[in-house]
């Protein structure tokens, strides 16, 4: 079964492979402006290019611009319908929503709100959900976006959303808020007393029980037997910090978390602990290398973040930076396959991996 990344909230010429060390982190605000950086050089860490095209040998995958959907708009999250990218949606600040069909142009869709939108998800292009600041929840059906969830009376921001296999939808955000849309279309708040006022930034999973949510202050939460609890799995020393994204296999046997200062966590397959590592900023990068997006499939891990950085690892090999040609902050990473990925960020940046 294909796996999905959860973007969350929150490219560059070739650079040197990133080193991996232990982390000792602080807790910055995830919205940090990073100056444009001059290009460097990179190698592929000795790894052969992956040839995973559906037919024929297309050579190494490349990130290419998808067009500036609107100059100056910060884009926060993307969703892709299928490996052929037959449809895709992007959301961002000021209520921005963009929709593209096949290889057509990105079209601006009225959202009915000026709230910043941080997350987008769907099971199919016929019903799409977006969430954002001040508890904003939007649903697209029959080609129209409408506000939902007003019965929740939320004032805290929602940063991520996921659509489950059973038709339900779950959104997470500040104050330990987890909101769930049941199949009948009614939104309700989940019981999250055990999480306190955790600031949640990402959610991952395909089934209600077994969902994971991560956030600021080293928060890792899991829903089991109908309740949300802090994950008791030990985290390696140096693994504490702000977590911004989570991805893995659909059955949850393989899980990866990305966060501040290049922090990466990986849960051992036996579930015994979270191991930690750190990606160091490439030479010449003076701003913190925060990682806001992560994608995992078939043993490959791809991360995106500050300074236009996108880096790829195969199995347990070293990370290597993939050239993207921009230095904008990259906040959202989404994919329906390793050759069908979008990354979005500040200044209207939209890049596609193919």
pLDDT exceeds 80 at position 35 = no
Confidence band of 58 (pLDDT split at 50, 70, 90) = low
Domains of the chain, with CATH numbers? 5-53+61-353 (2.130.10.10)
Confidence band of 339 (pLDDT split at 50, 70, 90) = very high
**Quick one: pLDDT at residue 34?**
36
pLDDT tens across 195-251, in order? 999 999 999 999 999 999 999 999 999 999 999 999 999 999 999 999 999 999 988
User: Cα 220–332–288 angle (5° rounding)?
Assistant: 75
CA 113 to chain centre: 22
The span from the CA of 222 to the CA of 237, in Å, is 21
Confidence band of 51 (pLDDT split at 50, 70, 90) = very low
pLDDT tens across 120-176, in order? 999 999 999 999 999 999 999 999 999 999 999 999 999 999 999 999 999 999 999
pLDDT tens across 296-335, in order? 999 999 999 999 999 999 998 999 999 999 999 999 999 9
Mean pLDDT within 38-67 = 52
pLDDT exceeds 90 at position 43 = no
**Quick one: pLDDT at residue 113?**
97
Confidence band of 21 (pLDDT split at 50, 70, 90) = very low
Confidence band of 67 (pLDDT split at 50, 70, 90) = low
The span from the CA of 33 to the CA of 306, in Å, is 8
Q: Using alpha carbons, list the distances in angstroms from residue 56 to 51, 53, 86, 132, 162.
A: 8, 6, 20, 41, 33
Mean pLDDT within 30-38 = 37
Token pair 């979270």 is found at 274
Q: What is the largest CA-CA distance in the chain?
A: 55
DSSP 43-81: --TTPPPP---SSS---S--EEE---SSTTPPEEEEEES
pLDDT exceeds 80 at position 40 = no
Beta bridge partners of 321: 311
Percentage of residues in the chain with pLDDT exceeding 70?
83
pLDDT exceeds 50 at position 32 = no
Alpha carbons within 13 A on the beta-carbon side of 2? 15
Decide: residue 313, CB within 10 A, 0-12 exposed, 13-18 middle, 19+ buried: buried
- SS3 of 97-164: the string is EEEEECCCCCEECCCCCCCCEEEEEEEECCEEEEEEHHHCEEEEECCEEEEECHHHCCCCCEEEEEEC
């Amino acid at each position: 079964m294909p796996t999905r990344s959860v973007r969350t909230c929150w490219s560059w010429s070739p650079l040197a492979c990133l080193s991996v060390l232990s982390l000792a982190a602080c807790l910055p605000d995830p919205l940090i402006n990073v100056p444009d950086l001059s290009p460097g050089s990179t190698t592929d860490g000795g790894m052969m290019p992956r040839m995973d095209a559906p037919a024929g040998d297309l050579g190494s995958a490349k990130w290419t611009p998808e067009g500036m959907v609107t100059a100056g708009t910060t884009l926060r999250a993307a969703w892709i319908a299928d490996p052929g990218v037959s449809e895709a949606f992007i959301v961002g600040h000021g209520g921005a929503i963009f929709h593209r069909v096949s290889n057509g142009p990105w079209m601006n869709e009225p959202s009915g709100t000026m709230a910043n939108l941080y997350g987008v998800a769907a099971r199919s292009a016929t019903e799409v959900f977006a969430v954002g600041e001040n508890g904003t929840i939007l649903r697209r059906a029959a080609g129209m976006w409408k506000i939902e969830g007003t019965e929740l009376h939320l004032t805290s921001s929602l940063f991520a959303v996921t659509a489950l296999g059973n038709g339900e939808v779950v959104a997470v955000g500040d104050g330990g808020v987890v909101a769930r849309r049941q199949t009948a279309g009614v939104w309700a708040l989940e019981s999250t007393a055990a999480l306190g006022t955790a600031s949640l930034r990402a959610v991952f999973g395909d089934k209600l029980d077994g969902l994971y949510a991560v956030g600021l202050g080293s928060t890792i939460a899991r829903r089991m037997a109908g309740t949300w609890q802090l994950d008791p799995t030990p985290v390696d020393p140096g693994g504490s910090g702000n977590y911004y994204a989570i991805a893995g296999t659909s059955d949850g046997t393989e899980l990866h978390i990305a966060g501040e200062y290049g922090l990466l966590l990986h849960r051992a397959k036996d579930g015994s602990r979270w191991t930690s590592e750190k990606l160091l900023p490439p030479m010449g990068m003076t701003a913190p290398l925060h990682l806001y997006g992560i994608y995992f499939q078939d043993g490959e891990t791809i991360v995106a973040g500050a300074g236009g950085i996108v880096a790829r690892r195969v199995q347990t090999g070293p990370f290597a930076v993939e050239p993207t040609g921009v230095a904008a902050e990259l906040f959202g990473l989404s994919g329906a396959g390793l050759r069908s990925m979008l990354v979005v960020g500040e200044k209207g940046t939209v890049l596609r991996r193919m």
